C-alpha cells in the first residue's frame, strides 16, 4: 500500500478570532485582502445568489493597506462564507465548503479526514488567511506525532527586519516548524514598495539558507509587480543568487497559460530552466483550481499532469490537496484518486516519489 504525504493542507481555529495575530481586526484585514484577490470562487449577491463582477473590498488601483474598503462591514460568516455589504446589498464568497458549520478546522477534524482518505502526513501551510499558526501547529504535532509537518510564517512585507528574522528562528528552533510559507499577497502591507528580491532582504534569505529551509512560494495573478510570467522570470533571477534554497510552487505551475489551442503544453524557457536546473518543485494540485469547472475524474487535469510528467519526470512533482478548502468541489479521497487511480503510466517508484518521498526529502537539511 502506498504511504501518502499531502504537501498542502490546513488546520486552523475559529477564523473569527485573532488566530495568532495581535488582534482579530488585524487578522480580518488579511482575510479581506485575500477575498479581494481570490479569483477561483465568484462573488454572489445574497438576495438572489447571482454572480457579480465587482469585489467591493479593496481599491483596484491602490494595493496598499490604504486601499482597503472600510465601509463594507466585511466579516467571517458561517458555512464557509465571507460576507459584506455595499450600497444596501449583501454579498458573499464561498471560500470554504458549505459543509463547514463553523469556520474552523481543528487537528482532530483533519486527522479523521486523513484516516478516511488514506493519507499519513500533511504539510501544514501557514497562510495569513488562517492566522499566524506556528504555535497551533506545534501543539497539533505534539498531540499527533508523525501526522503533521508545520511551515513557519513571517510578515513578508517586513521580513528583512530583525524582529521577523528572530521570529523565524524561534518558529524553527522552539516550535519545530520545518519550512517557510511565503506569499506575495503579503506585500499589500507596504504597497509593494519593498520586495523580496531587493538587497535589503539578503540577510533574511541568508538566514533561510543557513537554517536549511524549503520555501513554499505563493504567486498571485494580480500584482503591481506583473503577471505570473513576469513574476516567474524575476523569481528565476532571484534563484540565481540563492541556488541552494529548495523552492515549492504552491498550487503548482498554472499549466493552462502554457496550453495551445489543442491543449498541448508548451513551456517557456524560464519555466524549463527553473525546474531542470534549480531545486524547484511544482505542487500537483488541480482539483482546487479546476474541479468547479469539470467533473471527476477531471480529464483535462489528468492530461496536463501527464504532460508535466513527460516533460519534467517524477522528481519535481509533489501531490497536494488544499484540504479542507477543496471539499467545496470534491472529496478529499477524490483529490488523490484522480491521479493515483488514473495514471497507469506511473511506475511504483514514480508513485512513491510524487505521493511521498520527494515531499519528505524537502525537509531533510
CATH number at residue 192: 3.20.20.140
Confidence of residue 59 (pLDDT cuts 50, 70, 90): very high
Is the predicted pLDDT of residue 93 greater than 90, yes or no? Answer: yes
pLDDT of residue 109: 97
Whole-angstrom distance, CA of residue 64 vs CA of residue 193: 9
Pair (48, 88) in one structural domain = yes
Q: Is 272 a domain residue? A: yes
How many separate domains does the chain show? Answer: 2
Pair (60, 115) in one structural domain = no
Residue 296 sits at φ, ψ, to 5 deg, of -60, 135
Residue 176 sits at φ, ψ, to 5 deg, of 80, 15
Whole-angstrom distance, CA of residue 178 vs CA of residue 215: 10
| Residue whose entry in the numeric block shows the C-alpha cell 488541480 | 286
Which CA distances in Å does 166 have to 22, 130, 303?
17, 22, 44
Q: Is 256 a domain residue? A: yes
Query: If you average pLDDT over every residue of the chain, what do you get?
Result: 96
Q: Is 179 a domain residue? A: yes
| Residue range 4-17: mean pLDDT, rounded | 98
Confidence of residue 228 (pLDDT cuts 50, 70, 90): confident
Q: Which one of 46, 71, 94 terminates a domain?
A: 94
Pair (67, 126) in one structural domain = no
Whole-angstrom distance, CA of residue 159 vs CA of residue 167: 10
Confidence of residue 1 (pLDDT cuts 50, 70, 90): low
Whole-angstrom distance, CA of residue 126 vs CA of residue 288: 17
pLDDT for 138-156, tens place per residue? Answer: 999 999 999 999 999 999 9
Pair (265, 316) in one structural domain = yes
Cell of 347: 511506475
pLDDT of residue 365: 60
Q: Which one of 94, 121, 149 terminates a domain?
A: 94
Whole-angstrom distance, CA of residue 355 vs CA of residue 338: 13
Show the domain range for 333: 5-13+103-361
| Residue whose entry in the numeric block shows the C-alpha cell 478548502 | 325
Confidence of residue 330 (pLDDT cuts 50, 70, 90): very high
pLDDT of residue 55: 87
Share of the chain above pLDDT 70, in %: 99
Angle, vertex CA 352, rays to CA 346 and CA 356, nearest 5: 130
Pair (190, 327) in one structural domain = yes
Whole-angstrom distance, CA of residue 44 vs CA of residue 66: 25
| Residue range 272-287: mean pLDDT, rounded | 96
Pair (201, 57) in one structural domain = no
Pair (151, 113) in one structural domain = yes
DSSP E strand stretches across the chain: 5-9, 43-45, 51-52, 75-76, 81-86, 89-94, 121-124, 148-150, 152-153, 180-183, 215-218, 247-249, 280-284, 317-319
Q: Is 19 a domain residue? A: no
Nearest by Cα to 327 from 292, 283, 282: 292
Give the predicted TM-score (pTM) of the model.
0.96
Q: Looking at residue 80, what DSSP letter applies?
A: T
Cell of 26: 488585524
Pair (338, 222) in one structural domain = yes
Is the predicted pLDDT of residue 96 greater than 60, yes or no? Answer: yes
Q: Is 208 a domain residue? A: yes
Q: Is 284 a domain residue? A: yes
Q: Is 209 a domain residue? A: yes
Q: Which one of 94, 112, 137 terminates a domain?
A: 94
pLDDT of residue 222: 73
Pair (34, 86) in one structural domain = yes
Whole-angstrom distance, CA of residue 158 vs CA of residue 182: 12
| Residue range 84-99: mean pLDDT, rounded | 97
Which residues, in sequence order, are CB contacts of 335 under 8 Å at separation 6+? Answer: 117, 287, 288, 321, 322, 323, 326
| Residue range 118-145: mean pLDDT, rounded | 97
Pair (277, 149) in one structural domain = yes
Confidence of residue 164 (pLDDT cuts 50, 70, 90): very high
Q: Is 118 a domain residue? A: yes
pLDDT of residue 266: 96
Q: How many distinct helices (H) and strands (E) make up the chain?
A: 12, 14
Pair (75, 131) in one structural domain = no
8, 13, 15, 18 alpha-carbon torsion, rounded to 10°: -110
Pair (199, 236) in one structural domain = yes
Amino acid at each position: 500500500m502506498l504511504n501518502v504525504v499531502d504537501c498542502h493542507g490546513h488546520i486552523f481555529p475559529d477564523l473569527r478570532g485573532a488566530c495568532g495575530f495581535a488582534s482579530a481586526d488585524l487578522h480580518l484585514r488579511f482575510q479581506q485582502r485575500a477575498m479581494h484577490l481570490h479569483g477561483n470562487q465568484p462573488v454572489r449577491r445574497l438576495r438572489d445568489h447571482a454572480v457579480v463582477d465587482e469585489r467591493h473590498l479593496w481599491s483596484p488601483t491602490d494595493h496598499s493597506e490604504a486601499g482597503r474598503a472600510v465601509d463594507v462591514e466585511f466579516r467571517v460568516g458561517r458555512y464557509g462564507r465571507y460576507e459584506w455589504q455595499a450600497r444596501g446589498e449583501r454579498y458573499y464568497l464561498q471560500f470554504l465548503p458549505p459543509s463547514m458549520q463553523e469556520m474552523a478546522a481543528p487537528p482532530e477534524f483533519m486527522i479523521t479526514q486523513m484516516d478516511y482518505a488514506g493519507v499519513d502526513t500533511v504539510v501544514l501551510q501557514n497562510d495569513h488567511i488562517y492566522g499566524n499558526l506556528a504555535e497551533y501547529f506545534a501543539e497539533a504535532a505534539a498531540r499527533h506525532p508523525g501526522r503533521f509537518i508545520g511551515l513557519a510564517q513571517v510578515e513578508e512585507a517586513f521580513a528583512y527586519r530583525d524582529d521577523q528574522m528572530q521570529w523565524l528562528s524561534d518558529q524553527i528552533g522552539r516550535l519545530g516548524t520545518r519550512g517557510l510559507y511565503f506569499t506575495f499577497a503579503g506585500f499589500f502591507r507596504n504597497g509593494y514598495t519593498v520586495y523580496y528580491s531587493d538587497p535589503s532582504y539578503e540577510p533574511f534569505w541568508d538566514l533561510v539558507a543557513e537554517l536549511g529551509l524549503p520555501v513554499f512560494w505563493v504567486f498571485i495573478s494580480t500584482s503591481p509587480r506583473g503577471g505570473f510570467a513576469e513574476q516567474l522570470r524575476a523569481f528565476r533571477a532571484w534563484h540565481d543568487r540563492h541556488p541552494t534554497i529548495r523552492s515549492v510552487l504552491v498550487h503548482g505551475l498554472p499549466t493552462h497559460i502554457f496550453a495551445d489551442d489543442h491543449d498541448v503544453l508548451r513551456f517557456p524557457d524560464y519555466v524549463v530552466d527553473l525546474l531542470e536546473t534549480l531545486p524547484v518543485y511544482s505542487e500537483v494540485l488541480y482539483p482546487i483550481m479546476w474541479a468547479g469547472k469539470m467533473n471527476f475524474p477531471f480529464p483535462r487535469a489528468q492530461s496536463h499532469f501527464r504532460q508535466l510528467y513527460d516533460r519534467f519526470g517524477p522528481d519535481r512533482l509533489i501531490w497536494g490537496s488544499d484540504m479542507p478548502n477543496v471539499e467545496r468541489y470534491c472529496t478529499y479521497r477524490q483529490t488523490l484518486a484522480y491521479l493515483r487511480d488514473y495514471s497507469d503510466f506511473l511506475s511504483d517508484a514514480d508513485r512513491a516519489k510524487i505521493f511521498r518521498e520527494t515531499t519528505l526529502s524537502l525537509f531533510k537539511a
